[in-house]
Every structure is written in C-alpha cells, then in structure tokens.
Amino acid sequence: MQKNADDIVVFLIIVSALILALAAFIAIMVYLYRKKQISFFQNLEQIKLDHEKTLMSAQLEMQESTFQHISREIHDNISLSLTLAKLRLNTLNRDDRNEVEEKVTASVTLLTQCINDLSDISKSLNSDIIKQQGLTRALEDEVQRIRDAGMFTLDSWLTGNPIYMDAQKELIIFRVIQEAFNNIIKHAEARHAELSLHYDRERLYIAIDDDGNGFDTRLAREHQKAGLRNMETRVKMLRGTMIISSLPEFGTNLSFTIPID
Amino acid sequence: MDRFEKMIKLLDSRYYSDLIVAVFELIAIITGLIYARKDKTSVFFLAYLIFDFLIIIVDYGILYCYFSEKEFSNFVCFTNTLISFAELLAYYHFFLKIIHSKNTNKLMKILRVVFSVIIAIFITTGYGFLTNRFAYVSLLIGVIELLFLVPPSFVYFYELLKNEPIIDLYKRPSFWIVTGIFFYSVVSIPDYLIERSVAYYKPKYWNITNLLLFSIPISINSIFLTKAFLCKKTLTI
C-alpha cells in the first residue's frame, strides 16, 4: 500500500516537473518575444524620428533653395528692370515731349515685365495648387510657364491613371521636377526638352530629357553638386530612386521612380 | 443497470476525463463556428474538432453499451488512430502555411505521406481488428503522430523569435495553436508510451494517468484553439 502511494507521488512529481518545464519554456519564449518586440518598436520609433529629421532638413533645404531662387530672380530681372525704369524716369527731359513719351512708354514696358516676372515667381512658389488640384495639374501650369519663357521647346506626356498622393509628397516631387528644369535653364543650353510621367498601381515613373550640354555624371557626383544632391535626397526620402544618364555634349536623361503608398 | 447508468459509471471511474475533453472541444467548435474566418485552415481545424467530438460521443454514448470493456478499449484505440490522422492532416496543413523554412516544409510533406502510408497499411491489413496487438500498433501510431508534431512546433518558435515581432504575441492565433499542440504532444507522448504497461501492471493508475497526461493536455489544446478563434484573425497570423 505504502509502495503504491510512493509510486503515485513519484509519478505526480515527474508529471508536474514535465508540465513546469513546458510552462517555463513557453514563458521564456514569451519573455524573449516581448523583449525583441520592445526593441523592434524602439528601433521603429528611431527610424520614424530620423525620417522626420530628414524631412525637416529637406524642407529647410527646399526653403533655402527657394530663397536663393527668389533672390536671383529679383536681382537678375526685377531689380534690373526697376533700376532701368528709374534711370529712364530720372533722366527725363520734361521739356522734350517726344522723349518724355518714349521714355515713359519704355518704363511702362519695363514695369509690366516686372509685374509679369513677379507673377511668375509667385505662381512657381505657390504650393496651394498642388494641395487643391494635385501634382499633374501643377505640372501642366509649370510646363506652360517654361514654354512661355521660350528658352527651349518642351513636350510633356502623361500615361496611366494618375493617383493622388499625400500633398506633402506631391510637393516634394513637384520641387524635384522644378529643380531639374531649373538646372536645364541654368546650365544645359538646351533647345528641346521632354517630360514624361507614367503612373501604375504601385509606382510613379518620371523621365526628364534634354538635348543640352550634358555633363560628366562621375565628376558631378565627386564634386557633390548641390542641385543633384538635393534632388537625390528628396527622392530617397520618398523611398524612390533617381538615375542620371548624361555625357558632355549628348544631353541629359533623369529618371525617377517613386513608390505610391 | 441501464445504458445511461453504465456510461455514468464508466465516466465516473475515469474522473469524467472524456466528458471534460468533449466539453472543451464543444466550446472550441462553437467559438470556431461563430468567430473563425471561413478560410481553408479554419475549416480544417473545425472539421478535425467536429470529427473528434463526434467520435467521443459515438464511442461513449453508443458503442460502449454494445461491446465488452476490452473490445471497447481496443475500438477506442482504432478511433484514436483515425483522430490522429485527421489531427496530423489539420496541423500539418496549418504548419505548412505558417512555417517559412523550405526544408521543414519539404520534410513535413514527406512525413505526411509516410504517415498516410502507415495509416493505410494499418487499416487495410487489419492487424487483428479489435485485438490487443491492434491497440499496441494504434498507440504506436499515436506516438508517431505526436512526435511528428513536435519538430514543426520548435521551428515555429524559432522563426517567431527570428522574424520581426510586429504583432502582439497574445493576439496571434498561430501562437495559441502551436503552444496548445506543443504542450499536448510533449505531455501525451509519455502517456501513449506507458499506457499499455500501466493498464497491464498497474491498472488502478490507468485512469489518473490518462486524465493527467492525455485528457488535461488535450483539453488545454482545445482551450488554446478557442483562444485562437477568439483572436478573430486568420489562424495563420
């Protein structure tokens, strides 16, 4: 009888030990998982913070570049035109009616030019159109603005079904395209350029080609050209890719692939 | 003694362990029918639970009254083999969906074929239907089935710790299912191995052994399956 009771105790101890061992195994599993999960979410938070930091820095860069653009436009065009107008009006011989008429007309033309330039700057800086009507509509206006400037001919294509993305994201894409055209205007001396956009369900593909001077991409990267670096940073921020193909005298091709999510 | 009294006496002598198993399975079935998504894996699990539940009802509600105790015990071994087969198919289908390791998946596919062949040989050759020898082979098949379920559980736990822990563990149906089957398999293998020896040499311990090493673990497995259904997510998450 005593032996049977001992057997039961031994048996119960073994079973309890087995169950406790399994429970401990599961508890360790849960503990390790939770620990890993906490570390994972901390990392995720850090990545989010880094991304926000990059976004902020890109916004500051964009702002800085915009200020430079405004400053250049004011200095090169508006200020010059206003100075000329002022000069003409200051040197006005009020007794000579013909000269008065000629100089006032020329000054009015210069002031009209200034107003148009200011209007162009204002339009190109205004991001409301992107928020209200989207990227494609804003690009249509931008293309028209460049065509009107008459520095080179510009063709544009849009294929696929446009998908509206986050306004902030569309603004960054818009500024990247603007930067690309600014580079063509400033450096390429192109006669013809093309802009094409293609939307599929997951990505937006953008290509910008010109037949201008071109450049050595390796040298440009080595010298960390600010314009290119800005574009690259902004595209990377959108988890996209940017490919530059260019050779001196053979024009330039810029391709961007931006994920839509 | 009428049939009902005979059944109650049997259940009483077995600490109502079969009733406990049936009740928890019924709860899992009802929860599954209400909350489980109607995907293939859920259907497989529900089919396995319903099959297991029906066999318990048929065994204890009807057959026990028409067979001798020894024949009944051997018959239960036979039905347990069918349950083992359904169980392995359901769990392997589930494991094949959740485990990423290609080698483990390949191995599971091979083991599934091997197990099906063993079952087919066992059933077609008869092996002395309703005899003690039949019961031994049936228990051995049970051990093989449970042994086949342990390695994928370990692989799942390994992959769980290796991959990115995005979802809370307690909200993952797969965690509850694997924990349940892992616990049941590990605890029940010794029971399957010693069951006949206990029945032969220490018959008075058989019922308590069966309760502790089989009925309680399988009931815990049913509780964990219920919890998995209550996660209201696809079971493979």
- Phi and psi at B68, nearest 5°, equal -70, 160
- Residue A230: inside a domain: yes
Structure confidence at residue A4 as a pLDDT band (50, 70, 90): low
Q: Which range, of A34-38, A151-155, B33-37, averages the lowest pLDDT?
A: B33-37
Q: Are the Cβ atoms of A32 and B179 closer than 8 angstroms?
A: no
In sequence order, what are the beta bridge partners of A243? Answer: A255
Domain housing A248: 130-261
Pair A253, A246: CB distance under 8 Å: yes
- Looking at the partner chain, which of B161, B168, B179 has a beta carbon nearest the beta carbon of A26? B179
**Complex prediction ipTM:** 0.74
Q: How far is B117 from chain A (nearest CA, A)?
A: 32
B153 to chain A, any CB pair closer than 8 A? The answer is no
pLDDT at A255 over 90: yes
User: What would the two tokens of residue B45 be?
Assistant: 């699990």
Supply the pTM of this predicted model: 0.63
Beta-carbon pairs below 8 A across chains A and B? 39
Q: β-strands A203-210, A252-259: how paired?
A: antiparallel
Q: How far is B127 from chain A (nearest CA, A)?
A: 33
Q: Are the Cβ atoms of B161 and A30 closer than 8 angstroms?
A: no
Contacts (Cβ under 8 Å, ≥6 apart) of B52: B25, B83, B86, B87
User: What would the two tokens of residue A103 be?
Assistant: 């100089």
Pair B205, A7: CB distance under 8 Å: yes
- Residue A40: inside a domain: no
The chain A residue lying nearest B203, using CA atoms, is: A4
**A233-238 mean pLDDT:** 83
pLDDT at A45 over 80: yes
- Looking at the partner chain, which of A4, A7, A33 has a beta carbon nearest the beta carbon of B160? A33
Q: Are the Cβ atoms of A40 and B161 closer than 8 angstroms?
A: no
**pLDDT at B63 (0 to 100):** 66
- Residue A237: inside a domain: yes
Which residues in chain B have Cβ-Cβ distances shorter than 8 Å to A22? 182-183, 186-187
CA B229 to chain centre: 17
Which residues in chain A have Cβ-Cβ distances shorter than 8 Å to B202? 7
**pLDDT at B95 (0 to 100):** 92
Q: Domain holding A179: CATH number?
A: 3.30.565.10
- Residue A181: inside a domain: yes
- Looking at the partner chain, which of B161, B168, B208 has a beta carbon nearest the beta carbon of A36? B161
Q: Are the Cβ atoms of A36 and B168 closer than 8 angstroms?
A: no
Please tell me the total count of domains within chain A. Answer: 1
Chain A contacts to B (CB-CB under 8 A): 4, 7-8, 11-12, 15, 18-19, 22, 26, 29-30, 32-34, 36-37, 40
- Looking at the partner chain, which of A29, A32, A40 has a beta carbon nearest the beta carbon of B164? A40
- Looking at the partner chain, which of A19, A22, A36 has a beta carbon nearest the beta carbon of B165? A36
Question: Alpha-carbon distance B93 to A64, whole Å?
Answer: 59
Residue (of B80, B203, B56) closest to B143 by Cα position: B80
The chain B residue lying nearest A13, using CA atoms, is: B212
- Residue A171: inside a domain: yes
- Residue A160: inside a domain: yes
Instruction: Bin A243: left if φ > 0, else alpha if -120 < ψ < 50, else beta.
Output: beta
Best interface-test mutation with A: which of B202, B207, B219, B220 has the largest number of A CBs within 10 A? B202
B140-172 burial: b if 16+ Cβ within 10 Å, else e? bbbbbbbebbeebbebbbeebeeeebeeebeeb
More confident site: B160 or A54: B160
- Residue A153: inside a domain: yes
Residue (of A105, B13, A148) closest to A140 by Cα position: A148
- For the stretch A156-204, pLDDT in tens is 999 988 888 888 788 889 888 988 988 888 888 889 999 999 999 889 9
Q: Are the Cβ atoms of B212 and A15 closer than 8 angstroms?
A: yes
- Residue A78: inside a domain: no
- Let me know how long chain B is: 237
Per-residue model confidence as pLDDT tens for chain B (237 residues): 566 777 777 777 778 888 888 899 999 999 989 887 778 888 888 998 998 888 888 877 666 667 666 677 767 777 888 888 888 999 999 999 899 889 999 999 999 999 999 888 877 776 555 556 667 777 888 889 889 999 999 999 999 888 877 788 888 899 999 999 999 998 888 888 877 777 777 777 788 888 888 888 899 999 999 999 898 777 767
